[in-house]
Amino acid sequence: MKTTNYLLISAVLCLDLGACAANPRISQAETCANGLDRAFAELENAKAKGFSGTVSWTKAAGLLSAAKIQQQFDKYPNCIDKVNRAHTYIRMAKQGI
């Protein structure tokens, strides 16, 4: 009887630990997706204001395209990195750099 209880408790703990291990991946996926949405919106805003011809805008657009591909291959840390770098170029584009 005790062995069955221990097995049951062990199985539940393993499932709990597996769920905890998966949460950071979900969080990174959400961070990537939300970052892409915001960055593409900022990029469109910069384009509407006439900054689409700048080198910074072009670099940001390239980084966001690459980030989208990283997202499709579940490479979320790479996606997040590219989105952050794109934000820098978007700010530069808005400043006319």
Domains of the chain: 24-94 (1.20.120)
Contacts of 42 (CB under 8 A, 6+ apart): 87, 90
Give pLDDT, residue 19.
44
Q: What is the pLDDT of residue 49?
A: 87
pLDDT value of residue 25: 62
How far apart CA 97 and CA 94 sit, in angstroms, is 8
Question: Residue 41: its pLDDT value, please?
Answer: 96
Extract the residue ranges of the chain whose pLDDT is less than 70. 1-25, 97
Report, in angstroms and rounded to the nearest whole number, the Rg of the chain calculated over CA atoms: 21
- CB neighbour burial string for 47-86, b if at least 16 within 10 angstroms, e if fewer: eeeebeebebbebbbebbebbbebbeeebbebbbbbbebb
Question: DSSP letter at 1?
Answer: -
Q: What is the pTM of this model?
A: 0.71
